[in-house]
Structure 1
Amino acid sequence: MSPAALIWLPRFLTHLSSERRLSAHTDVNYRRDLELFAKYCEQQQIDDWSRLDSQHIRAFAATEFRRGQSPRTIQRRLSALRSFFNFLLRELALKSNPAVGVQAPKAPKRLPQTVDVDQMARLLAFRTDDELGVRDKAIMELFYSSGLRLSELVDLDLGDVDLRDRTVRVTGKGNKTRVVPVGRFAIDAITAWLRERGAIATPGDSALFVSKRGGRLLQRSIQVRIGRWARAQGLGVHMHPHMFRHSFATHLLESSQDLRAVQELLGHANISTTQIYTHLDFQHLAKIYDQAHPRARRKSRGTG
């Protein structure tokens, strides 16, 4: 790549940091990705950005895939190239974007992490000896009972929970409101917390869950407390708030087989988002099949 062509790289990176104000982490990744692509161009004896076409970009993506890079990494590198070439278009240094329409190999879907029913029962079976323990139990019971996102739970106000109706009004993504049932164990735990809340809450604060300083509890504090309880209960997995939501959906689907109802309870706009839990349910069924079906059992050693 010629020096005249390479001069556009620092200009683009300055544009990223000053005009688009991307994070330092994104800035570092883009710099690395673009420098890697410039080196690839040199190996291919391409001396100017205007000589590139979509075939060059596809060949670069294929080379990265053969080198063992993950589809996610390749997608990020293609995204960096598209942004860079759009910048060159804006600066009239290119007439078209050669990276448009070039796709990375499909990444395998990551299945959500869950815990089974016994693990969840063990986690929630702790003694509440102080106000914070009572609060934490109410938080975790509500997470598991109603499948809330962490941000949704943090934003709950006192008026959002109807103990008599056993429901909670949740404001989810896109500022959409849904009303979700609350189970008996969660109702009992929230009732116990409300008896303790007044001792630590700042007067006039509307938050359902407050910190020991009296104000609305922060997301990070909930993450830390849940991890601490999971270790104390000997759960053996790294527990985080979203695992309650995943476990709620998985356990409900295993019992009801009603995907549409699970979609409504989770607040998913599209049922395709909820369908990830059918893969988990199938894994559960396949495991039972392998253990129980006589034709699925492996032959014991020594039998012919």
Structure 2
Amino acid sequence: MSAKTISISEAVDRFLEGVSLARSQNTTRTYRNVMKFLETEVLPAHRLSASSPITAFKEDAVTWLVSAMRDKAPTTERLHLTVLSRFFEFLAAENLAPINLPRVHLLIRQRARRPGIRLPQFPQNDIEKVLDYAEGLLHAPVENEPERLRNLRDRAFLITLADTGLRVHEACNLRRGDLNWQEGRAVIIGKGNREAVIRFTRRSQSALEDYLRARAQMDGASGRPLTALPLFARHDRGNQKRVSAITTATGRNIVNERVMLAIGPQAKGSITPHSFRHYFVTRILQASGNLKLAQELARHRNIAVTQRYAHLSDNELDRGYYQIFETKDAPTVEE
């Protein structure tokens, strides 16, 4: 099919097919949603449709997209522009349309809003309360064996999030064989399908050992190699005696439930699984002051992301403020 006869819709399908082969399911879904928005919301406003020839698709689509997203957050706009830029690059590389890529990039620089930088906010003291509560689950009274397994699993899960910086889906996908117990490390496939080494503290390893020891009979009866079994398993009626991995939704529910039990119902939604990742990065920076170390351990591709954490904590600000204004030797302003 020539460039003159291929439609915008057909070009989009080819583009998304290539994305699906190279990117994760989540990334592919995001690209598909952006292109659907372009086809259904942006093009019709400029007398184009999905069936229009791809040669009618010009660099001005950058301006059209920006105009259509003025009521969206700058970060959402930036995401859409990134996908659109990749689409233009695909069209040029495949010779599907005469695209002026320098003009595309210039329009994006000129028209795109810059998202404001927000410092990561999370209740550090409350997270530490949740971790103290989690430690107590080791000896908490229970009514049955599944409840005891859930307590030990949730204890290990929360401590692992706090001490490793794992994202919730990464933790849920861990297998027993991923963890090298002697070295205290695990090799995972993380965000962007990149291989990464995760380090475990003695505290997290001990919590995992307590959990897996209690799960030994269940794992042994599974008929599967231990190394292939999930590190965090389901313990509910629906799962019966199968050893199935928890989902990311279950991981989020664990955090929500345990936060409310540890702090109270008023804390609902104030701490998410990603809050433990913020806690992890902030602890590294507070203890070492080493930005590069924090970047590598957090697996941030861009050090600018890590720099967002390199700010004084509220406690430090409070202490400095009151030392200046509330002590007997506080400086006075001369009139």
TM score, norm. by length of structure 2: 0.64
Q: Deviations over 1:50-74 (max 9, x none)?
A: 99997x6787678668x55543344
8 Å Cα contact 2:255/2:271 also seen in 1: yes
Q: 1:101 aligns with which of 97, 106, 109?
A: 106
Q: 2:188 aligns with which of 142, 161, 171?
A: 171
Q: 1:243 aligns with which of 266, 275, 280?
A: 275
After superposition, residues 247-266 of structure 1 pair within 5 angstroms as: 247-266=279-298
CA distance in 2, matches of 1:62, 1:155: 37
Q: Deviations over 1:214-259 (max 9, x none)?
A: 1333333222222222233323434332221111111332233232
CA distance in 1, matches of 2:68, 2:34: 19
Q: 1:11 aligns with which of 3, 7, 18?
A: 7
Moved more, 128-137 or 194-203: 194-203
8 Å Cα contact 1:146/1:183 also seen in 2: no
Unaligned runs of 5+ in 1: 1-7, 42-48, 296-303
Unaligned runs of 5+ in 2: 18-27, 49-53, 143-147, 236-241, 327-334
8 Å Cα contact 1:170/1:179 also seen in 2: yes
| Change beyond 3 A, Cα 1:64–1:81 | same
Q: Percent identity?
A: 19
Shift of 1:16: 2.3
Q: 1:232 aligns with which of 261, 264, 287?
A: 261
Shift of 1:277: 1.3
User: 1:4 matched to which residue of 2?
Assistant: none
CA distance in 2, matches of 1:51, 1:187: 59
User: 1:293 matched to which residue of 2?
Assistant: 324
User: 2:245 matched to which residue of 1?
Assistant: 216
Q: Which amino acid aligns with 1:242?
A: H
8 Å Cα contact 2:91/2:99 also seen in 1: no
RMSD (Å) for aligned C-alpha atoms = 4.1
Does residue 1:276 correspond to 2:284, yes or no? Answer: no
Q: Which amino acid aligns with 2:273?
A: P
Number of aligned residue pairs: 276
Q: 1:71 aligns with which of 62, 74, 93?
A: 74
User: 2:127 matched to which residue of 1?
Assistant: 119
Shift of 1:17: 4.2
